[in-house]
Amino acid sequence: MEEANSEFLNYKGTGMSVMEMSHREKHFLNILNESLADLRDLLELPSRYAVVYFPGGATLQFSAIPYNYLATGESADFAVTGVWAKKAFEEAKKFYPNVKSIFNGADSKYTELPTITDDLVNEGAKYVYITSNNTIYGTRYKTFPKLKKAPLFADMTSELLSRKLPIEDFSVIFAGAQKNIGPSGLTLVIYDKEKLPEQTHPIPNLMNYSLMEKNGSNYNTPPTYSIYIASLVFKYLKRKGGLAAMEAVNERKAKKLYDALDASSLFYATVPENFRSAMNVVFRSHNDSLDSKFLALAEEQGFAGLKGYRDVGGFRASIYNAMPEEGVDSLISFIKEFERTHG
Ligand SMILES: *Cc1c(COP(=O)(O)O)cnc(C)c1O
């Protein structure tokens, strides 16, 4: 943000803000193309994968994926592990009523994830859809399914770029930018070009994977300033040592916070150890009557957004890439102090 600030009015001596540039102008094209190349580097993407920017947030992909990958009457399997997975499933079902749920997280109040093997995959499923990190309930797949019967698709909105990934186990990965990448509204889609089916029906242009890819993420005016900010984030991550380095920091941050919660007599983490997210740490107190006091004091001391999701209650610490380790240390001290004075 400091870098963006310093060149906000005058990008590299052009006399223009990135915001003022045409999306066909050479400085912007450089930003766009370099950002895609940096992202390929970070993810170590094989050449058969396309990487494309889309508008419309992660939610647009809930519609775009079935449009691009299903023909009339076809089906896909969804692991419904949280709010976002459910939305994706319901959106697909609206247009392709044969899609199926292969796991219903409601049975465990969304604190557990399925072990997905080929046995669980329905005959004829064109893909298996997962949410790799469930932002609201704080669960994540520590390791990913390896499937032969159907390609694996994942919504990685709340964790892309936070850890190393076995890219080749996936055929589609997408992420809304706002958690780990950049400003909201921008979305990244990574897909295996060899697995994209022939188009059998019209697809709206702004959802059409091959059209957007052939036009280099520049079919219409893309969210240019958001792409510029994402480009700075990719360069920052490369300077920091890439995804392996981010993963080491993120695992350390999450572990110390979960350790503190496990050792607490007032607070507890709601998710069993093997499903715990490193990005979204969901916890509750044994004494609900202290919750509003805890939140008010937290806010007073500068801890923002600790309130749990509206249907979940309790607390959630989102500790994305941008949260420094010291921020987690401060939160742990705050939790301990609250426990000492109120527990
Ligand atoms: C935040 C989030 C979304 C929604 O993103 P929008 O950009 O608001 O559409 C979808 N999936 C996951 C996993 C998320 O965390």
DSSP 27-61: HHHHHHHHHHHHHHHHHT--TTEEEEEESSHHHHH
Cα–Cα dist 246/252, whole Å: 10
Residue 316, domain CATH: 3.90.1150.10
Cα–Cα dist 112/308, whole Å: 18
pLDDT of 310 over the 90 cut:
no
Same domain, 99 and 227: yes
Centre of ligand 1 from the C-alpha of residue 102, in Å: 21
pLDDT digits (tens, 9 = 90+) for 242-271: 999 999 999 999 999 999 999 999 999 999
Query: Is 288 designated active site?
Result: no
Cα–Cα dist 286/56, whole Å: 40
pLDDT digits (tens, 9 = 90+) for 137-193: 999 999 999 999 999 999 999 999 999 999 999 999 999 999 999 999 999 999 999
Same domain, 190 and 67: yes
Contact 16, 155 (CB under 8 A): no
Cα–Cα dist 307/290, whole Å: 13
Residue 155 pairs in a beta bridge with 131, 174
Same domain, 226 and 256: no
Residue range 48-76: mean pLDDT, rounded? 98
Residue that finishes a domain, picked among 214, 239, 264? 239
Residue that finishes a domain, picked among 211, 239, 267? 239
Residue 71, domain CATH: 3.40.640.10
Centre of ligand 1 from the C-alpha of residue 178, in Å: 8
Same domain, 211 and 145: yes
Range of the domain at 114: 2-239
Give nearest CA residue, ligand 1 atom 4.
Answer: 58
Distance of CA 26 to the CA centre of its chain: 30
- Residue 72: what residue type? T
Query: Is 179 designated active site?
Result: yes
- Spot the catalytic one: 38, 77, 86, 179: 179
Can you give the pLDDT at residue 313? 87
**pLDDT, averaged across the chain:** 97
Residue that finishes a domain, picked among 188, 220, 239? 239
- Spot the catalytic one: 38, 84, 126, 253: 84
Contact 226, 31 (CB under 8 A): no
Q: How many domains does the chain have?
A: 2
